[in-house]
A = this chain, B = another copy of it.
């Protein structure tokens, strides 16, 4: 637990302002190896191009570790923006975190604590999007646990069970496998519920012939996994559902196949979308192909038609095409993928084959 000077330097190199006030607890964790959950209280890491970093933290969260930076404690009766202003140069520009709440930003602006205020957190977000070697190891470990968990989630499926009953047992399974918790609330969807990509587990009872969709992830050593598999309960899918499944599978595998440094991210989305569109289900693939992930389940960067950036070695994101057509099928197949120096590595190893369970 120490300021990661390599990461800080990568951020400062990208930063367009003279200083950056980082407030996102995950970004702060990423940069100085310590996680706080400040709730409504101010938490800020000030990075300056001409001086050492400073961490502002409520005295409630006082800690002993030497993080290799200056700490400033305040308490609930202090005016923290006035304290922060002492470390700011009113003649320098300040980049602020995109999440900075108005209750802290407006007072700093009224106090003219910087020569200009602009959104600056992109410099951290872009740095976080490219994982370093240590992070890659942790992301592999988290997805490995997720693969093992998927095997066990399948076994929760039996006649008459409800989605909520299945979902309620997942956390214990993850914890036994070494996860600290969910990376997001699990999606368990039976039958036509699978055709709603935002469905949350409810009291729907499983019936023979249902689709069973699991979109699940856990946190291991602080890093997130996220995988979706779609199963069929007791009956092989009918012809149209089989076609839907195979289209989604093809979209997943062919878009993964093209991943390597230098590929435009929008083209990856296009590959998957074209396959589904040519198969006649373009209107039913209603979301982006994927999102970046790391310390948080959803991080900056999406895999969509609007992202014209290029894939870089170290990037990790999901590939999760889906077709949502009530009455026919709801299918999504999602993996996490790492861009490597000369290609890619799929972090999930649970198979993509059509699988009849129960």
**Chain A residues in the interface with B (C-beta under 8 A):** 39-40, 60, 77, 96-103, 105-106, 117-119, 198, 298, 306
Q: How far is the CB of A335 from chain B (nearest CB, A)?
A: 23
What's the nearest-Cβ distance from chain B to residue A46, in Å? Answer: 15
Contact call B102/A99, Cβ cutoff below 8 A? yes
Give the Cβ gap from A290 to chain B, nearest Cβ, in Å. Answer: 14
Q: Could you tell me if B99 and A101 are in contact, using CB atoms closer than 8 angstroms? A: yes
In the docked arrangement, what's the CA distance between A97 and B103, Å?
A: 8
| Distance between A297 CB and nearest chain B CB, rounded to angstroms | 11
Closest 9 CB pairs of A and B: A98-B103, A100-B102, A96-B102, A99-B101, A102-B105, A98-B102, A106-B119, A103-B119, A98-B101
- Residues in B whose Cβ lies below 8 Å from that of A100: 101-102
How many angstroms from the CA of A40 to the CA of B298 in the assembled complex? Answer: 10
**A41 smallest CB distance to B (angstroms):** 11
Contact A106 B77 (CB under 8 A): no
Name 6 extra pairs, CB < 8 A, besides A100-B102, A105-B106, A106-B117: A97-B102, A99-B101, A99-B102, A101-B101, A101-B102, A102-B102
Of B77, B97, B105, B198, the contact of A60 (CB 8 Å cutoff): B198
What is the oligomeric copy number? Answer: 2
Contact B101–A118 (Cβ < 8 Å): no
Closest chain-B Cβ to A305's Cβ sits at a distance in Å of 9
Judging by beta carbons under 8 Å apart, are B103 and A99 in contact?
A: yes
Bound complex: CA A99 to CA B104 (Å): 9
Which residues of chain B are near A101, meaning CB under 8 Å?
A: 98-102
**Interface CB pairs A-B, < 8 A, 10:** A77-B306, A96-B102, A97-B102, A98-B101, A99-B102, A102-B102, A105-B105, A105-B106, A106-B117, A106-B118
Closest Cβ neighbor of A97 among chain B residues? B102
Specify the chain B residue showing the minimal Cβ separation from A101.
Answer: B99
Q: List chain B residues, Cβ under 8 A from A39.
A: 298
CB distance from A294 to the nearest CB of B (A): 16
* Chain B positions within 8 Å of A96 at CB level: 102, 106
Complex Cα distance, B77 from A119, in Å, reads 19
Instruction: Determine how close the nearest CB of chain B comes to the CB of A199; give it in whole angstroms.
Output: 13
Cross-chain contact of A102 among B40, B77, B119, B198 (Cβ < 8 A): B119
Taken together as a complex, chains A and B put the C-alpha atoms of A101 and B98 apart, in Å, by 6
